[in-house]
Amino acid sequence: MSARVILGVGAGIAAYKACELLRRLTESGHQVRVVPTADSLRFVGAATWAALSGEPVTTSPWDGVHEVPHVRLGQEADLVFVAPATADLLARAATGQADDLLTSVLLTARCPVVFAPAMHTEMWEHPATKANVATLRSRGALVLDPASGRLTGPDTGPGRLPEPDELWRVAVRVLARGVAGLAQDLAGRRVVVSAGGTREELDPVRFLGNWSSGRQGYALAWAAVTRGAEVTLVAANVEAPAPAGATVVPVTSACQMRSAVLSAAAGADAVVMAAAVADYRPAARSEEKIKKAGTTPAPLQLVENPDILRELAAQRQPGQIITGFAAETSNLAENGRAKLAAKGCDLLVVNQVGAGLAFGTSDNAAVILAADGAVTEVPRGPKEVLADAVWDMVLARLPARS
C-alpha cells in the first residue's frame, strides 16, 4: 500500500545515507517528499533529492506559499522520518521551533514521527541532547538509538547513523503498525535475546553446525530496542550488522552461549531463545587438523549439550517470561506442544524449516504456543512482523511495573 512519506534531512555528513533510504522507499511504491534543512544541502544538493524522489525540494515555507506547505505537508503525511537528525535539529524539534520548513512540518504532523540521530559521541551523550531526546519520546516520537562505529575523521563511538537497510525496516514497520509502531511499551524492561547457530569444533578448521543465519534473533532484538527495551543480544556466528542500541555478546559454541545467556538473564524481565543451539558436540576436539588416512574414519563420538532453555525455565526469577523457539520439519502443533511441556517455558515459537523455509530467509511463519493455552498463528511475512508478535505476547504476560 502506497503511503505519503516526508523524509527530513538534517545537516550531517551522514545525509548521503538518506539517499539510499529514499531509494528503498520509492522502490517500495511510496510517495516521498524530501524536506532538507538549508545547511544539509551543503552535503547533498537539492537536485539529487529532486531527481531521486520525483518531487520538488525546498527548505523554505515561503516557496509555493499559496499551497501553505508548512501546514499541508505535515497534515497529509502518513510518516515523517528524519535522517540524519542532528543535535541541533533534535533541540529545535524538542523546543517547538518552526524556523524552517522541516521544523514547521514536525509541528503540524499528526502521523508517526521517527528521528534517526547522527552526531559525534560527545554531542549524543551531552545532557542537553539526552533531555531533548527524552522530551521527544515523551511526546510519542520514535527516537532511534544511533549505532556505534566510525564517525567523521578518526573518531569512533556511539553517534553513527544506522545503515539505510535498518532505517528502511523501521519505516516499513511503522507504516504497517501505525501508532503502535511508535509504542515504547518495553521501556524500562531488560530483555535478553539469543540469535544465530552455535558451532561445535571438531578441529581447528571443521565444526558441527546448522543453517541458522541469526536474522530472526536480530529482528527480535531490533524490535525490542525500538519498543524501548534495554537489550542484550547473545549472538552465535552471525555476520549481519548488530542492531543499533543493543549490547551484543558474541559466542561460538553451545557452552559459551549457556554461560552468556545465564549471566545476562540475571535480573532480566524476559529471555527469548531464538538461537539454533546444537544438541550435541564432539566428545573431544583435535588440536590438529584431522587428516585423511585412506581408511574408514573412526566413528565420531558425541556428547549432549546443555539444554539452555530448560535450565532458564527451571531457574526463572519471579515474573520473568521465558520464550523458546522450536524448528520443526513436520507435525508442528503436536511436536510444539510436547516441547513446550518438556521445556517448561512460558511461550514457544514453532516454525517449519527445511526446503528453503525460515533459515537464511527474510521471512518467516510460526505458531506461538503459550503455557496458558493461548495459540497465535503468524502468517508468512517479514521476520520483523513475527518479532513484534512475540513481544506482544511477552508483554501481555509481564507483571505490571510497580
Contact (Cβ atoms closer than 8 angstroms) between residue 368 and residue 389? yes
Q: 335 catalytic, yes or no?
A: no
Q: Residue 189 in 3-state DSSP?
A: coil
- The per-residue DSSP string of 48-95 comes to HHHHHHSS---S-TTTTGGG-HHHHHHHH-SEEEEEEE-HHHHHHHHT
Q: What is the pLDDT of residue 78?
A: 94
Q: What is the pLDDT of residue 308?
A: 96
Contact (Cβ atoms closer than 8 angstroms) between residue 292 and residue 326? no
- 201 phi, psi to nearest 5 deg: -75, 135
Q: What is the pLDDT of residue 306?
A: 95
Domains in the chain, please, with CATH? 4-182 (3.40.50.1950), 190-397 (3.40.50.10300)
Q: What is the pLDDT of residue 359?
A: 67
Catalytic residue among 132, 210, 351, 364: 210
What is the β-pairing status of strands 230-236 and 147-150? Answer: unpaired
Q: What is the pLDDT of residue 364?
A: 82
Q: What is the pLDDT of residue 224?
A: 93
Per-residue pLDDT of the chain (402 residues; tens, 9 = 90+): 689 999 999 999 999 999 999 999 999 999 999 999 999 999 999 999 999 999 999 887 767 665 655 678 888 999 999 999 999 999 999 999 999 999 999 999 999 999 999 999 999 999 999 999 999 999 989 999 898 887 777 777 888 999 998 899 889 888 888 877 777 899 899 999 999 999 999 999 999 988 788 999 999 999 999 898 999 999 999 988 888 889 999 999 999 999 999 999 999 999 999 999 999 999 999 898 888 877 777 788 999 999 999 999 999 999 999 999 988 777 777 788 899 999 999 999 998 765 555 566 777 888 999 999 999 988 888 888 899 999 999 999 999 876
